[in-house]
Structure 1
Amino acid sequence: MPDSPTGTPAGLSEDVEDLKAQVRALTNQVNKLTQPPAADHTDQAEDQDRTNEETEEGAEGWQFPPFILLLDHAEYGAELRALVEFVEGVLVPGYLDEASADARWCHQWTQHPVAIARLHALWLAWQELTDPDTCGYAGPSTWHRDHYDPCMRELRASTGPFQGCTKGEHQIAHRMPSLVPSAWRHAGSC
């Protein structure tokens, strides 16, 4: 599926909306099947309306995972410290071999906003998919296939964020963006 200009896979937003509609329909169906039969059809209709309203309110109150580049300064610092522990404690010693022209890595990765964003997303997936209570025992395999492999292909590619970095020599300016566009911010953040 080709990507849109924003880098999101084409059709993803339609798929998400379809999934939301399916969840609402299934929730209504479960509620209908688990409620005792009502003698009065008016009560059933009111109950159904209440269920629909609760489902819609739940969808509006949905909590999205934090996008690290949009956090305020204090939250960003705390999240970055935790991310550094994951990257330096798990990824670097366990997964990242010697850097090469085909598989780049920058020891100053925290100075690359794209790397921070991708590694943070990878870490969020790790937290969810390595817990058998939330994902079963296939979670680590899913994490590798769906998250780690694509993330590393993008980060370590010759055209990735580390393209100007070579072992011991950096040819790009390592910097963090000073201002995140206001359109990216969530209401009430920062």
Structure 2
Amino acid sequence: MSEPTEAIPEPVRIPDHDLDDLAATVSRLVAENRTHGQLLDRLTSEGAEMQSAPSEQAAPASEDTQEETDPSSVFILALDDEAYAVELAALRFWVDHLVLRTYGREVTTSRPWCQQWSEHPEAVARLHALWLAWQQFTDVEAGLAGPSIWHRDHLDPALLQLRSADGPFAACTTSAARPNHRLLASPVPASEAA
């Protein structure tokens, strides 16, 4: 009796013109992986430093204190002062090393930017939301179209709002040769107007 033999699959052949695209994709993925690794290492070391810092009271965590330490939202505006500062430091790293290096086009009057963007609450909120979406859509579970969806649905609209001539940086730098930072006044809530 002869045993059935499994068919050996043919080797995958990639046309030469597709090799450049494949090599570019692999290079991009390696660079993104390196960036993610550096960010993860930095966040891990910051977290270890925070955990090793002596606390004023080393009481066992009860359910009440656990609820206080678990934020009800991951959005930066919902965080307490300490968590906000930690999240802002991580956001600043991401903005400086990924967003500005990759998408930071020339500063002009129609496309202003502020080097002190972290002092603009609207910019912090929009960039943090963009970062959260980036984390979700660049994850393997987002699928191959994840980065494209992130660009279309998150990056492009966020940059249009941030860098518009009437956006949060409207009074800030409009020429790289003349850095400027100024916070615009916000509307006064009706409860404070009277």
The list of structure 1 runs, each at least 4 consecutive aligned residues, that deviate by more than 6 angstroms after superposition, is none
**Selected match of 1:112 from 89, 113, 120:** 120
- 1:139-178 alpha-carbon deviations (Å, 9 max, x no partner): 0000000000000000000110000012334362389xxx
- 1:20-69 alpha-carbon deviations (Å, 9 max, x no partner): xxxxxxxxxxxxxxxxxxxxxxxxxxxxxxxxxxxxxxxxxxx9642212
1:126–1:64: structure 2 CA closer, same or farther, 3 Å change rule? Answer: farther
Contact 1:126 1:143 in 2 (8 A): yes
Q: Considering only CA atoms, is the larger Rg found in Structure 1 or Structure 2?
A: 2
Superposed counterparts of 1:1-190, under 5 Å? 65-132=73-140, 134-166=141-173, 167=175, 168-170=178-180, 172-173=182-183
What is the aligned partner in structure 1 of residue 30 from structure 2?
none
Contact 1:111 1:174 in 2 (8 A): no
Separation (CA, whole Å) in 1 of partners of 2:129 and 2:158 = 9
Contact 2:120 2:168 in 1 (8 A): yes
Separation (CA, whole Å) in 1 of partners of 2:122 and 2:109 = 19
Residue ranges of structure 1 left out of the alignment (5+ in a row): 1-62, 176-190
> What is the one-letter code of the residue matched to 1:165?
C
Percent of aligned pairs with the same amino acid: 46
1:64–1:121: structure 2 CA closer, same or farther, 3 Å change rule? Answer: farther
Separation (CA, whole Å) in 1 of partners of 2:181 and 2:154 = 28
Contact 1:165 1:171 in 2 (8 A): yes
> What is the one-letter code of the residue matched to 2:78?
L
> What is the one-letter code of the residue matched to 1:170?
N
Separation (CA, whole Å) in 1 of partners of 2:135 and 2:84 = 18
- CA root-mean-square deviation: 2.0
- 1:101-157 alpha-carbon deviations (Å, 9 max, x no partner): 12111111011000000000000000000012x210100000000000000000000
What is the aligned partner in structure 1 of residue 24 from structure 2?
none
1:104–1:160: structure 2 CA closer, same or farther, 3 Å change rule? Answer: same
**How high is the TM-score relative to the length of structure 2?**
0.54
1:82–1:64: structure 2 CA closer, same or farther, 3 Å change rule? Answer: same
Residue ranges of structure 2 left out of the alignment (5+ in a row): 1-70, 186-194
Which of structures 1 and 2 has the larger relative contact order (alpha carbons within 8 angstroms, sep 6+)? 1
Separation (CA, whole Å) in 1 of partners of 2:81 and 2:170 = 28
